[in-house]
Structure 1
Amino acid sequence: MSTESDLIKLYSDRILALTTNIPHQDRLDDPMATVKRRAPLCGSTVTVDVVMDDGKVSAYGQDVKACALGQAAAAVVGHAVIGATADQIVAGRDGLKAMLKEDGPTPPAPFDGLEVLRPAKDYKNRHASILLTLEALSEAMEQIDQSRTA
């Protein structure tokens, strides 16, 4: 059972600082893909807009309406996403999921900053919100890939 001091540790100064520094909060006018994801348990939502050039994210916008942990994840992703490939985004999502659910290793670069959210592994009810941004981005990568092969 979690104690109050465990919750205080979870919402560290570093995580709270990230919530005030979420980059790319302007939506894109002409994205190649837009995906909105919602965490049913808490109601957190994230919408991402993506443009790819030469196989890498060249423009990114996000609308984040999430708890502090979801906001922190969106901030880390927002700082790392420009220049990322679809494979790196999927690897980041899978790495974050493994870190939270199986105490796996830190997600690979460029998303290794998500290590700050490791303390949330013990709070399963927070996992969906933390995963929102990378899940939405991964879905956007699929949409872009499908539109190119259609």
Structure 2
Amino acid sequence: MSAEADLIKLYSGKILQLASDIPHTEPIEAPMAQAKKRSPLCGSTVTVALNVEDGKISAFSQDVKACALGQAAASVVGANAIGRTAQEIEAARDELKAMLKDGAPAPQAPFDGLEVLLPARDYRNRHASIMLALEATLDAMNAARESACA
């Protein structure tokens, strides 16, 4: 199979469906914290704003400027972020990274929808874009925790 055919296969209908329906794109008013992550290779960015109550995300918004793979990842993250702790976000990030780089299984629920990105394992140049949503969410949660302690 040619590289072009492989790339077309990578952008499955499910990935494109997720990319076209990203939740929580409306800004939240007066967020506790926000973080922006950028992939240096492709220029994709994800900016996350959130509020945290009792150690869990209580409000979440994201601005996603990424390829379809990064958008699909942001869609899964956005659908599941509210109610999650920093530890859960960190575990999902680590599991997604291991799935992409080390052939590990897909992240556990509630982020198991990231399994749709398994075909991207072979496209290392796409990994950074896929990781952006979880990395930005974790950075924003850490910023919220730091501001609460200050």
The TM tier, using the shorter chain, reads over 0.9
- What's the offset of the Cα at 1:4? 2.0
Does the alignment pair 1:4 with 2:4?
Answer: yes
- What's the offset of the Cα at 1:146? 1.7
- Unaligned runs of at least 5 residues, structure 2: none
Residue pair 1:49, 1:60 contacting (<8 A) in 2 also: yes
Does the alignment pair 1:133 with 2:130?
Answer: no
Q: Aligned to 2:47, what secondary structure does the other structure show?
A: strand
In structure 2, the residue matched to 1:47 is 47
- What's the offset of the Cα at 1:2? 6.1
Deviates more, 1:139-148 or 1:121-130: 139-148
> Which string of whole-angstrom CA distances, capped at 9 and with x for unpartnered residues, describes residues 5-61 of structure 1?
211221000000111110000111211111011101101011000111122111101
In structure 2, the residue matched to 1:144 is 144
- Relative to structure 1, is the Cα distance of residues 2 and 93 closer, same or farther in structure 2, using a 3 angstrom cutoff? farther
Deviates more, 1:50-59 or 1:90-99: 50-59
Give me the whole-angstrom Cα distance separating, in 1, the residues matched to 2:33 and 2:59: 11
In structure 1, the residue matched to 2:29 is 29
Give me the whole-angstrom Cα distance separating, in 1, the residues matched to 2:142 and 2:109: 20
Residue pair 1:84, 1:110 contacting (<8 A) in 2 also: no
In structure 2, the residue matched to 1:107 is 107
In structure 1, the residue matched to 2:85 is 85
**Aligned residue-pair number:** 150
Does the alignment pair 1:69 with 2:69?
Answer: yes
Give me the whole-angstrom Cα distance separating, in 1, the residues matched to 2:149 and 2:64: 30
Give me the whole-angstrom Cα distance separating, in 2, the residues matched to 1:2 and 1:61: 39
Q: TM-score, normalised by structure 1?
A: 0.95
- Unaligned runs of at least 5 residues, structure 1: none
Residue pair 1:88, 1:110 contacting (<8 A) in 2 also: no
Give me the whole-angstrom Cα distance separating, in 1, the residues matched to 2:139 and 2:97: 15
- What's the offset of the Cα at 1:149? 2.6
Percent of aligned pairs sharing the same letter? 63
> Which string of whole-angstrom CA distances, capped at 9 and with x for unpartnered residues, describes residues 72-125 of structure 1?
000010111111111100001111101001011111221111000011011000
